[in-house]
């Protein structure tokens, strides 16, 4: 932004550094989103299994 507003020189190292930082941030956010989705899928599978087990035990009790 300094090069735009103040007329400073733009160095290639600064541009490469900015690209590396943005790419790293993108990778971290992508991995976090994938981890969160994986955890929510795991929780929904667990709750489904618990519900199925609960219903199964309930029907077994009714049969007695």
Whether residue 17 has pLDDT greater than 90 = yes
For residue 42, what pLDDT is reported? Answer: 62
pTM above 0.85, yes or no: no
For residue 19, what pLDDT is reported? Answer: 97
Q: What are phi and psi of 30, to 5 degrees?
A: -65, -45
* Helix or strand holding residue 7 (H, E): none
Greater model confidence, 63 or 1? 1
For residue 13, what pLDDT is reported? Answer: 94
Averaged confidence pLDDT in the chain? 77
Lookup: tokens for 1: 């932004």
Q: What residue segments make up the domains of the chain, in order of their start?
A: 11-63
Whether residue 25 has pLDDT greater than 60 = yes
**For 29, what's the count of Cα atoms within 13 Å in the CB-facing half-sphere?**
6
Instruction: Let me know the angle formed at the C-alpha of 43 by 58 and 25, rounded to the nearest 5 degrees.
Output: 175
């Amino acid at each position: 932004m300094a090069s735009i507003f103040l007329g400073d020189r733009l160095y290639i190292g600064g541009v490469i550094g900015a690209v590396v930082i943005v790419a790293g941030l993108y990778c971290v956010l992508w991995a976090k989103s994938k981890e969160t989705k994986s955890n929510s899928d795991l929780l929904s599978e667990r709750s489904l299994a618990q519900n199925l087990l609960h219903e199964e035990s309930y029907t077994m009790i009714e049969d007695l």
